[in-house]
A and B are shown apart, each in its own frame.
Chain A
């Protein structure tokens, strides 16, 4: 396939079957390989969509500075697109975020502002909102509330799945900004409403939930619970176990969050099998495992990996 530039090659990712992990000929699992996007994650879709929407409505002009609270894939994706399009990017990320992510962001030309580690991503969002108020000339795209995030999946991810797998019965994705699930869920509600939308939500160690009071909690502005049908909480032990199964059984090397998504997909497969229903379950491989090698998830016993992930926002 030929494209005019790297940015033009975002999306149109492969959908591959899982012949070994699928429980039967009637209950099949399919992986949407979003790690094959240009910077290696599904966030390339949201980043490109948010920048193009801001260009289209005049919010972003050449030479502008983009501000975003992110410590992971969205920042890397935004940095790549921003560099190609001539924007500056400032990422607000919790201090002491892993060295790989800082190196990648810096390579693609992003500037990093640190937020206190203790509050995790909640705190990064709070700091970014404060900076946006102080610097009205900085353009915050705000992935947690930007409809263009969900639209990337409404226009791209979901129609690609339906074209490749018209018999799809379930979609399983990760719940973070909620953009993937809101976009895919919205598309299928309109075009094939019998498709069940299943969310896999990472459950972290206790420190991550260490708020001072419950009112500091956070639900992304994009989130609409009517667009999903089930929501599973998946801890690090199950996520690591599944990510290892995925590489052992199918040769797919995925990031830890994909293990959580696969765990929910396999739970659905088991339910369908027991009920005697036909099922074609599509799940997202959100990124590859490369950026997480230093977390300890890919070596040693499950106990060791679980200990290593304690206190980390691993998805």
Chain B
């Protein structure tokens, strides 16, 4: 059972949950399991057979685009993180409401 961390923008699909469990031996199987429990999320993550351009998926902190893509192996207690791609740079956005 892997833990999948869901970004804010996709939480409407998980009933607001920040992290959900999913089963599967590969990222593709994990996404199918997510879809079974959170209908509609798959289409937001994938564009056809590929991860969408502005979506990054990490298994144990490593970007799956460099580890075999959707065929990347997912271990039993893997941590999966889904994040939108954003610009880098060094800004302090504390005034947007972040705890300091």
Q: Which residues in B have their C-beta under 8 angstroms from that of A253?
A: none
Q: Which residues in B have their C-beta under 8 angstroms from that of A257?
A: 90
**Interface contact B91-A124, CB-CB below 8 Å:** yes
1/0 per position for A117-159, CB-CB distance to B under 8 A?
1101110110000000000000000001000000000000000
Q: Name the contact of A311 in the complex, choosing from B52, B53, B65, B96 (C-beta under 8 A).
A: B96
1/0 per position for A224-241, CB-CB distance to B under 8 A?
010011111110000000
**Interface contact A233-B89, CB-CB below 8 Å:** no
Q: Name the contact of A207 in the complex, choosing from B67, B83, B84, B97 (C-beta under 8 A).
A: B97
CB distance from B42 to the nearest CB of A (A): 13
What class of interface size applies to chain A in its complex with B? 35 or more
**Interface contact A311-B94, CB-CB below 8 Å:** yes
Q: Is A176 engaged at the interface, CB distance under 8 Å to the other chain?
A: yes
Q: Name the contact of B93 in the complex, choosing from A72, A229, A312, A315 (C-beta under 8 A).
A: A312
Q: Name the contact of B90 in the complex, choosing from A69, A101, A210, A220 (C-beta under 8 A).
A: A101
Q: Is A17 engaged at the interface, CB distance under 8 Å to the other chain?
A: no
Q: Name the contact of B98 in the complex, choosing from A70, A202, A234, A310 (C-beta under 8 A).
A: A310
CA of A228 to CA of B61, assembled, Å: 16
**Interface contact B96-A117, CB-CB below 8 Å:** yes
CB distance from A240 to the nearest CB of B (A): 15
**Interface contact B95-A209, CB-CB below 8 Å:** no
CA of A225 to CA of B64, assembled, Å: 12
Q: Is A36 engaged at the interface, CB distance under 8 Å to the other chain?
A: no
Q: Which residues in A have their C-beta under 8 angstroms from that of B61?
A: 232-234
**Interface contact A203-B81, CB-CB below 8 Å:** yes
Q: Which residues in B have their C-beta under 8 angstroms from that of A315?
A: 88, 90
**Interface contact B62-A96, CB-CB below 8 Å:** no
1/0 per position for B6-17, CB-CB distance to A under 8 A?
011100000000
Closest to B83 in A: A209
**Interface contact A208-B86, CB-CB below 8 Å:** yes
CB distance from A264 to the nearest CB of B (A): 9
Q: Is B49 engaged at the interface, CB distance under 8 Å to the other chain?
A: no
Interface centre among B8, B65, B83 (most CB of A within 10 A): B83
**Interface contact B86-A213, CB-CB below 8 Å:** no
**Interface contact A120-B55, CB-CB below 8 Å:** no
Closest to A218 in B: B87
Q: 5 nearest interchain CB pairs?
A: A311-B98, A217-B54, A176-B88, A72-B90, A231-B63
5 residue pairs from A and B, CB less than 8 Å apart: A206-B8, A209-B84, A214-B55, A215-B54, A313-B88
Which chain B residues have a beta carbon within 8 Å of chain A's beta carbons? 7-9, 44, 52-56, 58, 61-63, 65-67, 81, 83-100
